[in-house]
C-alpha cells in the first residue's frame, strides 16, 4: 500500500507519516528533505537559490543515502526548500527518485506537498493534513525553541503565510489536496489524535481493498 500524506508547513504531516510507517512496517520518505538538501548544498556552495539551472544540477546528483537530516532542519532550510521547490527543473529532477521510492515492493509512506497529486496519484490512501496558520506557526515556534533557534512568533507566522502563498501559487505542482484525498484538520488535534484518525482511515481502506479482492 502507498500512503500519500500532503499538507502545508507545520501541519503535522511529517510526524503522522513517520508514525504510520512505523505502525505498518513500511519505509518512509520525507520528500521535503530532498528539497532542503538541494537548498543546503546550494547555500554551502554560495549559489543563488533562485538559479533554477544550478539547483536542478544539484537535484540530479542528489543521493538519498547521504542526506544529513540534522543539517536540513530549521527555519532557514524550510525557507530554502520552498524557494528551490518552485523551480520546475528541480521538481522534474527529483520526480523519478520519489516515484521509485513510492512504488517499491510492499509499498511506502511519503509526505510532502504533491505526493497524492503528482508523485503517486494512484496511492491507495491519500491524506491532506492541514491546520489554521496561527496554530501551525505556534507549533513551529515551539519546535524551533527546542532547537535553540527561536525567532519571534510573529516572524514564524509571517514565514508560514509566505510559504503557503508560494507553495499554493507555484505553476508546477502547486500545493492542493488530491480530489480523492481525505482532509485531516489538526487544528484541534494533538499528534495522538491525528494518528488515531489517520489510522482508522488507512485500516478502513485496507479492509475495503481486502473485501474487493476476496469477491473478485
Binding-site residues for ATP = 7-15
Report whether 117 contacts 202 (CB < 8 A): no
The Cα–Cα gap between 99 and 95 comes to 6
The residue length of the chain stands at 216
Report whether 125 contacts 205 (CB < 8 A): yes
Report whether 157 contacts 10 (CB < 8 A): no
Coil, strand or helix at 30: strand
The Cα–Cα gap between 50 and 138 comes to 29
Which residues define the annotated binding site? 7-15
Amino acid at each position: 500500500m502507498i500512503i500519500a500524506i500532503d499538507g502545508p508547513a507545520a501541519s503535522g504531516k511529517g510526524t503522522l507519516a513517520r508514525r504510520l510507517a512505523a505502525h505498518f512496517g513500511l519505509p518512509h520518505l520525507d520528500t521535503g528533505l530532498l528539497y532542503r538538501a538541494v537548498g543546503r548544498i546550494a547555500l554551502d556552495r554560495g549559489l543563488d537559490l533562485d538559479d533554477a539551472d544550478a539547483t536542478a544540477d544539484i537535484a540530479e546528483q542528489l543521493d538519498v543515502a547521504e542526506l544529513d537530516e540534522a543539517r536540513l532542519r530549521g527555519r532557514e532550510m524550510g525557507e530554502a526548500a520552498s524557494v528551490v521547490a518552485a523551480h520546475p527543473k528541480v521538481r522534474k529532477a527529483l520526480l523519478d527518485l520519489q516515484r521509485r521510492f513510492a512504488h517499491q515492493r510492499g509499498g511506502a509512506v511519503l509526505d510532502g506537498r504533491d505526493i497524492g497529486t503528482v508523485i503517486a496519484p494512484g496511492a491507495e490512501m491519500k491524506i491532506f493534513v492541514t491546520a489554521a496558520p496561527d496554530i501551525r506557526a505556534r507549533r513551529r515556534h515551539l519546535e524551533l525553541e527546542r532547537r535553540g533557534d527561536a525567532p519571534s512568533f510573529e516572524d514564524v507566522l509571517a514565514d508560514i503565510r509566505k510559504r503557503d502563498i508560494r507553495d499554493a501559487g507555484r505553476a508546477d505542482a502547486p500545493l492542493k489536496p488530491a480530489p480523492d484525498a481525505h482532509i485531516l484538520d489538526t487544528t484541534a488535534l494533538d499528534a495522538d489524535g491525528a494518528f488515531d484518525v489517520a489510522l482508522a482511515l488507512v485500516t478502513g481502506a485496507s479492509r475495503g481493498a481486502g473485501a474487493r479482492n476476496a469477491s473478485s
